[in-house]
């Protein structure tokens, strides 16, 4: 069941997404070699709560933390820990907050210190593919158009697309229909309509597309242990435009010329 949102509901989504984007600005201040991913989790959890929001991942189907932490080969749903980030790592941070009954979801992969150019290119392409997906995300198109835009962009550049994990609708629940794969055929899947709120989130690998889910049922890594990148925005579809509700601007303010 796909829930179409009223203009009032989209305003609430926008407010939640603004606060989530600011949370990433706070996290960005701490991302550097030596910081533990537990520390990042605490910063995010406290900032959300101080601003009246609920850290929606914490306790979601048993997930143990506020942030999903994706260091290097981790694709999605990694747990924060006492691991200290190292020069040359990339760390995807993916999280959801709930404010006034509505959810906002966003992910950004940060370079830590000096990152190998091949891995930087993976991150840049993944982020660009997110915007290619968003360009295809408009009234009258189909979900397969988003999927195909992401897949084509990444595979042309020699990367592979994780198939087991998808984007999704969002609203009063963090995961709503439809599923949004990052691979597929143009002109297939559900029609994109006015009032939809969607999360587009390419997960792209440097090596093979195969993944392994750890025995905890959550943490997901590449099978070949090569790096994976992940970026995500929440968007709202209106008849005359698609609005990107989350923004990386607060991250950019903090990172300056280290922003990718």
SS3 245: coil
Under the criterion CB under 6 A, does residue 14 sit at the interface with ligand MF3?
A: no
Site for ligand MF3 in 28-47 (CB under 6 A): none
Residues shown for the chain: 260
User: Nearest approach, Cβ of 60 to ligand MF3 (angstroms)?
Assistant: 4
Under the criterion CB under 6 A, does residue 233 sit at the interface with ligand MF3?
A: no
Task: Note the helical H segments in 63-199.
Answer: 117-135, 143-156
Site for ligand MF3 in 64-103 (CB under 6 A): 68, 77, 94, 96
User: Nearest approach, Cβ of 218 to ligand MF3 (angstroms)?
Assistant: 7
Specify the DSSP class assigned to residue 174.
Answer: S
Site for ligand MF3 in 181-210 (CB under 6 A): 201
The residue (of 157 and 163) whose beta carbon lies closer to ligand MF3 is 163
Q: Binding segment for ligand MF3 among 17-25, 55-63, 188-196, 250-258 (CB under 6 A)?
A: 55-63
The residue (of 115 and 154) whose beta carbon lies closer to Co ion is 154
Q: What is the CA radius of gyration of the chain?
A: 17
Under the criterion CB under 6 A, does residue 221 sit at the interface with ligand MF3?
A: no
The only residue of 63, 83, 131, 259 in contact with ligand MF3, by rule CB under 6 A: 63
Q: What are phi and psi of 152, to 5 degrees?
A: -60, -45
Is the bond preceding 241 in cis, omega lying within 30 degrees of 0? no
> How far, in Å, CA of 42 to CA of 144, rounded?
37
Query: Could you tell me the CA-to-CA distances from 46 to 22, 26, 64, 98, 107 in Å, in that order?
Result: 13, 10, 15, 14, 18
The only residue of 26, 73, 105, 176 in contact with ligand MF3, by rule CB under 6 A: 105
Inter-helix orientation angle 143-156/117-135, to 10°: 160
Instruction: By CB under 6 A, name the binding residues for ligand MF3.
Output: 57, 60, 63, 68, 77, 94, 96, 105, 107, 168, 201, 232
């Amino acid at each position: 069941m796909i829930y179409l949102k009223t203009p009032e509901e989209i305003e609430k989504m926008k407010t939640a997404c603004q606060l989530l984007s600011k949370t990433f600005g706070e996290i960005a201040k701490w991302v550097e070699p030596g910081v533990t991913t537990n520390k990042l989790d605490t910063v995010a959890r406290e900032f959300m709560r101080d601003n009246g929001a609920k850290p929606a991942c914490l306790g979601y189907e048993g997930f143990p933390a506020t942030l999903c932490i994706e260091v290097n080969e981790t694709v999605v749903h990694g747990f924060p820990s006492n691991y200290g980030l190292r020069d040359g790592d990339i760390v995807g941070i993916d999280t959801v907050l709930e404010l006034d009954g509505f959810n906002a979801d966003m992910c950004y992969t940060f370079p830590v210190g000096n990152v190998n150019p091949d891995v930087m290119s993976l991150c840049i392409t993944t982020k660009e593919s997110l915007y290619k997906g968003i360009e295809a995300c408009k009234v009258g198109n189909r979900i397969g158009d988003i999927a195909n835009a992401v897949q084509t962009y990444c595979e042309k550049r020699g990367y592979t697309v994780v198939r087991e994990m998808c984007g999704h609708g969002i609203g009063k629940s963090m995961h709503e229909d439809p599923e949004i794969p990052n691979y597929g055929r143009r002109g297939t899947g559900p029609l994109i309509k006015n009032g939809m709120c969607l999360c587009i989130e390419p997960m792209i690998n440097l090596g093979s597309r195969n993944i392994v889910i750890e025995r905890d049922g959550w943490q997901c890594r590449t099978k070949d242990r090569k790096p994976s990148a992940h970026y995500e925005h929440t968007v709202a579809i209106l008849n005359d435009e698609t609005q990107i509700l989350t923004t990386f601007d607060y991250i950019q303010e903090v990172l300056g010329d280290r922003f990718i």
